[in-house]
Chains A and B, each alone.
Chain A
Amino acid sequence: AQSVTQLDSQVPVFEEAPVELRCNYSSSVSVYLFWYVQYPNQGLQLLLKYLSGSTLVKGINGFEAEFNKSQTSFHLRKPSVHISDTAEYFCAVSSLGGSYIPTFGRGTSLIVHP
């Protein structure tokens, strides 16, 4: 079985500061990892994905994430956030040989203060 834990339900940060949103996963087989962003009153949009290859993945809006197999983590980072980054962020995992349907974390609310 696969599972995802997002360690922080809410992350407040000031504009132009760096941010890290944490995600840990559990799976007994090879995984695919995703980060999605949800702006108010909208659906989820793909930020970035790790399928294979380089463990550092770059996504849209200046976000990046690093796949760490030994620590079973896929943390999302941005060096300098903007007010417009205020949103809900979801980490998701699916597995090769397991469920092709992703399991989503409970979400992290990023709140960027001016």
Chain B
Amino acid sequence: NAGVTQTPKFQVLKTGQSMTLQCAQDMNHNSMYWYRQDPGMGLRLIYYSASEGTTDKGEVPNGYNVSRLNKREFSLRLESAAPSQTSVYFCASTQDRVPNQPQHFGDGTRLSIL
């Protein structure tokens, strides 16, 4: 039961470097999401993909790009990392884009930018 798998689990970058965070789900879900978690801030939505082939901005999209590669995979890219992007990043998925389904989360990627 893999569920949602995120890679890598940890990463340290220098300011200005680029990086792609990978996310894959094996539950045949249609909708996928990227969040960042910062102390005392809860979860903030960065981007989401309601279905394969579509992506939309969330609450905090600046400095990020996403790609919905196929139904299983949804990647998050930092083109030029900044210290303010130091955070824990979570990928999540739901079967459909309806409000009564809980989200399934990966274990997160802990990213530090120096």
Residues of A within 8 A of B (CB): 9, 32, 34, 36, 41-46, 49, 51, 90, 94-96, 98-102, 104-107
* Contacting pair A102 B100 (CB below 8 A): no
* Interface residues on chain B, size class: 20 to 34
Which of A41, A43, A106, A107 touches B105 (beta carbons < 8 Å)? A43
Expressed in whole angstroms, the Cα–Cα distance for A82 and B103 within the complex equals 26
- Dominant secondary structure at the B interface: loop
Residues of B within 8 A of A (CB): 4, 33, 40-43, 45, 48, 58, 90, 92, 97-100, 102-103, 105-108
Contact A43:B99 (CB < 8 A) given known A104-B42, A107-B42:
no
Which of A34, A90, A100, A107 touches B98 (beta carbons < 8 Å)? A100
Contact A98:B99 (CB < 8 A) given known A105-B42, A106-B40, A106-B42:
yes
